Structure 1
Amino acid sequence: MRWRTAAAFSSLESLFQALSATRSLPQIAQLHQQLLVRGLAPAPFRATKLLQLYADASDLPSALRLFAALPRPSVFAWTPILALFSRSGDHLRCLAGYAAMRYAAVAPDGYVFPSVLRSSVAAAHPSAVHADAVKFRSDAVLPVRNALVDAYSKVGDTASARCVFDLTDGRDLVSWNSMICGYVNAGCIGLARELLRSMESDGCEPDLVTWNIVMDGYSRAGRSDEALKIFDQISDPNVVSWTTLISCYSRCGNHEAALAIFRRMLSAATIPPDQDTLSCVISCCRNVARLANGREVHAYGLKTMAADAFYSSAGAALVTMYASCNKLSTAEQAFLMMDPADVVAWNAVILGFAHSGLDHTALEYFRDLQSRGNRSDETTVATILPVCDLNLGKQIHAHVARHHTGSSPLVWNALMNMYARSGCIRDAYLVFSRMVSRDVVSWNTMIGAYGSHGLGKEALELMDLMKGLGPKPNAITFTNALMACSHCGMVDEGLELFENLSQSWGLVPTMEQYACVVDLLARAGRFGEAAGFIRRMAVRPSKSVWGALLAACRTHQNVEFGRLAFEQLVLLEPENPGNYVTMSNIYARAGQWEDAKKVRRMMERRALVKPSGYSWIEAT
């Protein structure tokens, strides 16, 4: 609205109300100036009103100046300050302000607690704020109850969140959405769906936010078909709905379907994609090597939104896409468009060059990051460790010990993998044993490390320990353990493990696990059992299964089963020259020269060439 003098309003109070609705900083500052000129501002009541206006307009410096001038700030002055701290993400400052408020003997009310509870998640102690809400009889206020459900859910305490939810009278849409979101974040999609049904039977109609939350839950569970069914029920999806569905298919590895949904979104022409949508789509283009489509999305983003906003969200995906497609100069150009102080930009360029096999360039960017004084994060460390030799890996380990002592398992898992890859299995186990908290990746990494070093017994012992102390084993756990059995000739143990996979743990065997069992039997020379196992498979054998059999036939010089595997591989991947070379060598070593020539002629007819081998050494 245009500025009018105070005389145009029936009272000063109506002017405050009007500015509270517009939140126009120039008009608020002009009112402040008029009050100073008229000598009306120093009154604590009016100063508090002005403070609230500045806080609602997110002008923290002006709000703090007024706050500091108050002789004894009331709860009405503390409330907007704490809300602004929480809203702007300065959670520790919000908690410190709340502590100062309590020290000043100012009693908090139902308007203070929602902001403080949102910030309490940063310190992972909403229970302390909950106790204060009970003490000051604000815990029954609906916004406080909703904030408690949200806070407990975000720190992973869904039991406490559900307890507060069940005790809440007059639950509104926010109450239901907060609890459903809590279950989704905890990976409990079944409980989320059950609560959704209760919500509908209780007479509360789900809104778009509800459906987006449920879709996100299916996305996290890898259940893309159910997410699509939910999406199709939404009459007017917003950009979050589209992005969630695209992300769901991308997370499940079905990038082609994700791109198809993006094309459907563009065809609908009802909601334009935002930078988060484009970032997800660019990642899909990278995973299926669709460089041309990725460039189109890049151009679309620059055309439809501000460059700073676009690169801040999609820049990292662009860098990794161009680097993975060997467009290194373009990747560097995209990196230069990003904020040089943003560690996400550095992580993206390091990851992109590392995945392209340019370890030296990735290390140069890491050193450049360090030399600029920019602080690396856990992702940086986990990204650079796979390209480090043992000497540099130990240096980064020392860096982690100094600067990332409270690191998540992500960093320690990468360190374990670095030591195991360098042949230092004892150092890898030392890292594992000293971890404060281990996730399933930690256990899988150590089990896999034992297996790759020929320590099958230790791998199975660690898996038994995991069953008792660690998280529930997943498909990768069993794959690593089966590979350990295969490498160490532990056939009976491996077969028993495979049986337990479905019977005791309810897991469906993956193709990789089938290939492990075939490799296990064939390495031991039990080719008849391996062939029988393949015939009994519940799914059609893939090239990895037949490839494992062919490789073992080369080792044991078994022509009969080698021929069987080769015939299947020719049907599955006729353009792979390695299979022809392996079979030809098997025939040659058996003295079957005519058969060897036939295989070589098959290669010539298909114009297949054996890839050249090469070695790489670094001179120092």
Structure 2
Amino acid sequence: MIHSLVFLNGFEREITVGNALVTSYFKCGCSSFGRQVFDEMLERNVVTWTAIISGLSQNELFEDSLRLFLKMRHGMVEPNFLTYLSSLMACSGLQALGEGRQIHGLVWKLGIQSDLCIESALMDMYSKCGSLEDAWRIFESAVELDEVSMTVILVGFAQNGFEEEAIQFFVKMVKAGTEVDPNMVSAVLGVFGVDTSLGLGKQIHSLVIKRSFGSNRFVGNGLINMYSKCGELQDSIKVFSKMPQRNSVSWNSMIAAFARHGDGFRALQLYEEMRQEGVEPTDVTFLSLLHACSHGGLVDKGMEFLKSMTEVFRISPRTEHYACVVDMLGRAGLLNEAKTFIEGLPMKPDVLICQALLGACSIHGNTEVGKYAAEQLFLLEPDNPVPHVLLANIYSSEGRWKERAWTIKRMKEIGVVKETGMSWIEIDKKVHSFVVEDKMHPQAVIIYGVLAGLFRLMKDEGYKPDKRFILYYLDQDVKHN
């Protein structure tokens, strides 16, 4: 309507009006109309270029945004501070490290590299491009830091697999008296996993209560995930039930929590409540539902969800969804059906899908389908130790020791090394980690003594080692008993 009034009153040639229209269209998500207004403008200034470049970035059209920035650079109009910010956002979205470095050089030449917003954008760009060292260098050299820059570096640690460093950084900030905001708390809660200290998570929850962050949905969602991953399902339920406002992430997090803890019935029940509340499911919702069906043996229900996902909600399944279906069929012992499902996919199966099938074959000891899955994995990831180990387990389950030996020999010949498995337990707010045959723990002698005693008791109760799996036993002779 307003655009029509512009033409009726002859304002279409006014550059300020054109700039406002471009900005408005992009803010409303109408990127094609915003681009059309830009293309039809006879005169453009720095505001015009910045409006289109930032608008495209904000609508996740990063490639177009960066292309127009480069076009602007070759023209007569010089970019300003906001233009550079938007171009860095585009580089982050594209993970375009080379172009990001070039823009970093430009802002350095202009002397605006120390601006708080520019520094945060640079750290975000380097973090998302996997160059955390560069992001950290900017953080350390910053004269002034704010909540945004600290949140960016926290998220950067998490995104690049440095969960422990993210937690330590957050703890240092709190101890130093740094003003913590909900975004920082949400970021650090996002790095919690099954091997993270529950005690620390509860301390962060206490901080949330003291700072009155409990009403923040992102913080609430983070607490649900943290408690769930640390094994405290009831605490996840308490947080969810007390949330004054919930979004789709809140529902997804709680459904995932039930699925993670093997309570498929509660997961499906909560999904029905979610639909009654009028909340639309997302691809993440269906991933959690399929996971719940997989662990609950609800094959028919899981296939119904996959069908409704595409036919009712028009959501395209991702590789993770297909892998979940394969896992569901495999756990139910329907290995041939799982193989048929994979062969009928509209895409070539990737590592996740083939690994799910091979894992199921390892559980059920199916050599024929297992060899098929292993061969697919060998082609996809020759250096991956998983197919070698699982295939060896399958051969062991059938007593085919020659084939097992050949598989292990092949693994050694091509230089594939099995990743060391690790387990952990939290005692008095301290996480103790162990690997196979671990002798490094200060109480190793006592621990092995207790394990040996327990193992003898298990044998007395009739326990027999499961030969389907390649395991290390304290007493090697028991393998033959």
Map 1:259-270 onto structure 2 (within 5 A).
260-268=234-242, 270=243
Tell me, in whole angstroms, the C-alpha distance in 1 between the residues paired with 2:193 and 2:352. Answer: 26
The aligned counterpart of 1:40 is 11
Q: How does 1:397-476 map to 2 (within 5 A)?
A: 421-422=370-371, 442-443=384-385, 446=388, 453-454=404-405, 458=409, 473-475=419-421
Whether the 8 Å CA contact 1:420–1:449 is kept in 2: the answer is: no
Matched with 1:114 is: 85
Residue equivalent to 2:40: 69
Give the Cα separation in 1 of the matches to 2:294 and 2:310: 18
Q: CA deviation at 1:230?
A: 0.8
1:208 aligned onto 2:121: no
Q: Say whether the 8 Å CA contact 1:331–1:349 is kept in structure 2.
A: yes
Query: CA 1:326–1:42 in 2, change beyond 3 Å: closer, same or farther?
Result: same
Q: 2:66 aligns with which of 66, 72, 95?
A: 95
Partners of 1:427 and 1:264 in 2: CA distance: 44
**What code does the residue aligned with 1:68 have?**
D
How far apart are residue 144 of structure 1 and its match?
1.1
State how far apart, in whole Å, the 1-side matches of 2:339 and 2:187 are. Answer: 40
Query: Deviation of residue 92 (structure 1)?
Result: 2.3
Equivalent pair of 1:324/1:352 in contact (CA under 8 Å): yes
Shift of 1:299: 1.9
Shift of 1:63: 0.8
Shift of 1:159: 1.6
**Deviations along 1:504-537, whole A, 9 cap, x unmatched?**
xx6998xxxxxxxxxxxxxxxxxxxxxx999724
Contact 2:95 2:128 survives alignment (8 Å): no
Q: Does 1:330 align with 2:301?
A: yes
Stretches of structure 1 lacking an aligned partner (at least 5 in a row)? 1-29, 390-416, 436-441, 478-496, 510-531, 555-561, 566-581, 587-620
Match of 2:120 in 1: 146
State the alpha-carbon separation in 2 of the partners of residues 218 and 150 from structure 1. Answer: 21
Distance 2:208 2:377 in 1: 50
Alignment partner for residue 310 of structure 2, among 332, 339, 351? 339
> CA, structure 1 residues 264+57, in 2 after alignment: closer, same or farther (shift >3 Å)?
same
Q: 2:338 aligns with which of 362, 372, 385?
A: 362
Separation (CA, whole Å) in 1 of partners of 2:287 and 2:295: 12
Paired with 1:106 and 1:59, the residues of 2 have a C-alpha distance of 25
Shift of 1:191: 3.7
8 Å CA contact retained: 1:172, 1:204 = no
State which of 95, 103, 113 in structure 2 corresponds to 1:123: 95
Structure with the larger RCO, 1 or 2 (CA within 8 Å, 6+ apart): 2
Cα distance change of structure 1 residues 227 and 354 upon mapping to structure 2, 3 Å threshold: same
Letter in 2 for 1:337: S
Report the equivalent of 1:242. Answer: 220
Separation in 2 of the partners of 1:275 and 1:95?
31
Deviations 1:242-277 (A, max 9, x none): 33233234435x2xx22x123312543x43443333
Task: Compute the displacement of 1:427 (Å).
Answer: 9.2
Whole-angstrom distance in 1 between the partners of 2:41 and 2:157: 44
The alignment partner of 1:111 has SS state of: helix
TM-score, with structure 2 as normaliser: 0.74
2-side partners of 1:334 and 1:456: how far apart? Answer: 38
Aligned CA distance change for structure 1 residues 128 and 183 (closer, same or farther; 3 Å) = same
Alpha-carbon distance, 1:132 to partner = 2.7
Contact 1:219 1:249 in 2 (8 A): no
Distance between the aligned counterparts of 2:40 and 2:463, measured in 1? Answer: 82
Tell whether the 8 Å contact from 1:246 to 1:261 is kept in structure 2 after alignment: yes
Q: Which residue of 2 aligns with 1:618?
A: none
Contact 1:56–1:80 at 8 Å: present in 2 too? no
Give 2:285's match in structure 1, choosing from 301, 314, 319: 314
Higher mean C-alpha deviation, range 230-239 or range 193-202: 193-202
Equivalent residue letter for 1:244: G
Aligned match of 2:454: 541
Query: Per-residue displacement from partner, 1:442-474 (whole Å, max 9, x unpaired)?
Result: 3455466668622698599689985xxx9xx53
* Cα distance in 2 between the residues matched to 1:224 and 1:443: 31
Aligned match for 2:329, one of 343, 347, 353:
353
Shift in Å at residue 179 of structure 1? 1.5
| Alignment match of 1:224 (pick from 170, 192, 198) | 198
The one of 285, 292, 301 equivalent to 2:265 is 292
Alignment deviations for residues 570-604 of structure 1 (CA, whole Å, 9 cap, x no partner): xxxxxxxxxxxx9xxx9xxxxxxxxxxxxxxxxxx
Q: What amino acid is the match of 2:78?
A: A
Give the Cα separation in 2 of the matches to 1:109 and 1:198.
36
Are 2:207 and 1:233 aligned? yes
| Residue 72 (structure 1) shift | 4.9
Letter of the 2:302 counterpart: A
Give the corresponding residue for 1:401: none
How much has 1:65 moved relative to structure 2? 0.9
- Is the CA contact (8 Å cut-off) linking 2:326 and 2:357 kept in structure 1? no
Q: Unpaired runs of 5+ in structure 2? A: 397-403, 424-434, 468-474
1:82 aligned to 2:53?
yes
Within the candidate set 120, 126, 145, 1:171 is matched to: 145
| 234 and 104 in structure 1: CA distance in 2 versus 1, 3 angstrom threshold | same
Instruction: Give distance in 2, aligned partners of 1:154 and 1:261.
Output: 32
Structure 1 position 60, deviation (Å): 0.8
Aligned length: 435
1:279 to 252, 255, 264: 252
The amino acid across from 1:247 in the alignment is N
Superposed displacement of residue 388, structure 1:
10
TM-score, normalised by the number of residues in structure 1: 0.59
Kindly report which structure 2 residues correspond to 1:364-403, keeping only aligned pairs within 5 A, or say none. Answer: 364-370=340-346, 375=347, 378=350, 381-382=353-354, 385-386=357-358
Q: 1:447 to 1:291 in 2, by over 3 A?
A: closer
Contact 1:227 1:248 in 2 (8 A): yes
Answer whether contact 1:444 1:476 (CA < 8 A) is retained.
no
Residues 1:175 and 1:47: Cα distance change in structure 2 (over 3 Å)? same
Paired position in structure 1 for 2:439: 502
Matches within 5 A, 1:472-551: 473-475=419-421, 501-503=438-440, 536-537=449-450, 541=454, 546=459, 551=464
Following superposition, the deviation at residue 200 of structure 1 comes to 4.9
Q: How does 1:559-574 map to 2 (within 5 A)?
A: none
Report SS of the residue matched to 1:454.
helix
| Distance across 2 between alignment mates of 1:190 and 1:146 | 22
Deviation at 1:110, TM superposition (A): 1.7
Q: Which residue does 2:108 correspond to in 1? A: 134
The RMSD of aligned alpha carbons is: 4.4
Comparing both structures, which one devotes a greater share of its residues to helix?
A: 1
Deviation string, structure 1 residues 353-400 (Cα, Å, up to 9, x no partner): 333222344345445542xxxx567466446653899xxxxxxxxxxx
Q: For the Cα contact (< 8 Å) 2:422–2:436, is it kept in 1?
A: no
**What is the CA distance between 1:206 and its match in structure 2?**
0.5
CA distance in 1, matches of 2:268, 2:464: 41
| CA offsets 1:476-524 (integer angstroms, 9 cap, x no match) | 59xxxxxxxxxxxxxxxxxxx965x333xx6998xxxxxxxxxxxxxxx
Q: CA deviation at 1:68?
A: 0.4
Structure with max Cα Rg = 1
Cα distance change of structure 1 residues 134 and 369 upon mapping to structure 2, 3 Å threshold: same
1:282 Cα offset (Å):
2.9
